[in-house]
Amino acid sequence: MKTKHKLFAIFGNPVSHSISPLMHNYALQGLGIDGCYTRYQLHEGTQLREKFLALKLSGINITVPHKEAAFAACDEIRGIAREIEAVNTIVHEKGKLIGYNTDAPGFLKSAQLFGEINAVTILGAGGTAKALAAIFRENGTDVTVINRSEKRLHYFSERDYRAMAWESYVTHTSDLIVNTTSAGLQDDALPAPEALLEDLFSHAKYAIDVIYNKETPFMKKAKKQGLPVKDGSEMLLYQGVIAFNHFFGNTLHEEEITGFMRQAFI
Ligand SMILES: NC(=O)c1ccc[n+]([C@@H]2O[C@H](COP(=O)([O-])OP(=O)(O)OC[C@H]3O[C@@H](n4cnc5c(N)ncnc54)[C@H](OP(=O)(O)O)[C@@H]3O)[C@@H](O)[C@H]2O)c1
């Protein structure tokens, strides 16, 4: 494929830990595309648009804490990002900044590799939970959200999702249980009381933790109850694959990009 030299980056703060440059550079090299993907530590989200244009970038990914600022910086928002109001991919298209969210479809792809998901239960009610609830609803999946406290659940009940705080938990059946809380990220905490989790797992088929590169207490517990379990690395892989394809006008084959990007996880 012939293109003129293109420069891409990930914007975030912090950004040094990001595996995205490795993933995207493997794909660029593997596909023989003349381009390079780097990282940029952005302190102020309000500077995102100015920096993007000044650096003459063809596309960027955006990580914590700038996904809402990225949404605001775009000329046009496409797909599920309109509903989520958070953007993790921007493409420079004919002088305009086009924003997408590929975290949500990346997660959906990873979940569907387990099997058909007709009902999902999401633990946590933050940014990731909103994104996943939106993509599952769009996909026709029944969504339940469980959170430690009431406050953040209002967003979900206002949008007619089934929303429960720990105290108001009711037994229900779900194909998939997802942990989107940060419990287990830097501690050994479970994302909900043990008895609640036991009940959830005993009425479910699969479990995914969006945390990656470690086996969290949530994953250990699900495994112990006999559920097939995944961490968030596959979500990370597929959000990158979908973003990379957006960078090139969705003209590439996802399987091919996936093959090259997987090398970043070895
Ligand atoms: N794999 C990937 O590609 C990927 C992509 C995006 C994010 N992530 C991960 O997703 C996680 C969440 O990110 P986010 O931006 O959605 O977070 P967030 O907006 O800060 O939301 C955090 C949620 O977790 C709950 N929570 C926090 N600590 C808890 C604990 N000890 N027990 C129970 N609930 C707890 C909070 O409950 P309260 O409302 O009660 O405070 C809140 O609902 C992070 O670990 C992040 O690394 C992974």
Ligand 1 atom closest to residue 131's alpha carbon, by position in its atom list: 16
Q: Rounded to whole angstroms, how far apart are CA atoms 103 and 255?
A: 18
Question: What does the pLDDT read at residue 204?
Answer: 98
Question: What residue owns the CA closest to ligand 1's atom 45?
Answer: 182
Mutate to test the pocket of ligand 1, among 87, 128, 211 (most ligand atoms within 8 A of CB): 128
The rounded mean pLDDT for the chain is 96
Pocket flag, ligand 1, residue 240 (CB < 6 Å): no
Pocket flag, ligand 1, residue 181 (CB < 6 Å): yes
Look at residues 40, 85, 45 and name the one whose alpha carbon lies nearest to residue 59.
40
Taking residues 223-233, report their average pLDDT. Answer: 97
Higher pLDDT, 168 or 2: 168
Q: Is the peptide bond before 228 cis (omega within 30 degrees of 0)?
A: no
| CA of 246 relative to ligand 1 center, distance in Å | 27
The pLDDT tens digits of the residues spanning 77-136 come to 999 999 999 999 999 999 999 999 999 999 999 999 999 999 999 999 998 999 999 999
User: In the chain, what are the domains?
Assistant: 6-102+234-265 (3.40.50.10860), 115-227 (3.40.50.720)
Tracing tokens 């996936």 back to the chain, one arrives at 258
Question: What does the pLDDT read at residue 259?
Answer: 98
- With 80 as the cut, is the pLDDT of residue 31 above it? yes
* Residue 232 β-bridge partners: none
Mutate to test the pocket of ligand 1, among 182, 197, 210, 216 (most ligand atoms within 8 A of CB): 182
Answer whether 33's CB lies under 8 Å from 65's CB. Answer: no
- With 60 as the cut, is the pLDDT of residue 1 above it? no
Pocket flag, ligand 1, residue 105 (CB < 6 Å): no
- With 60 as the cut, is the pLDDT of residue 2 above it? no
Question: What does the pLDDT read at residue 99?
Answer: 98
The pLDDT tens digits of the residues spanning 177-222 come to 999 999 999 999 999 999 999 999 999 999 999 999 899 999 999 9
- With 70 as the cut, is the pLDDT of residue 151 above it? yes
pTM (predicted TM-score): 0.93
Question: What does the pLDDT read at residue 4?
Answer: 82
pLDDT above 70 coverage of the chain, percent: 99
Pocket flag, ligand 1, residue 220 (CB < 6 Å): no
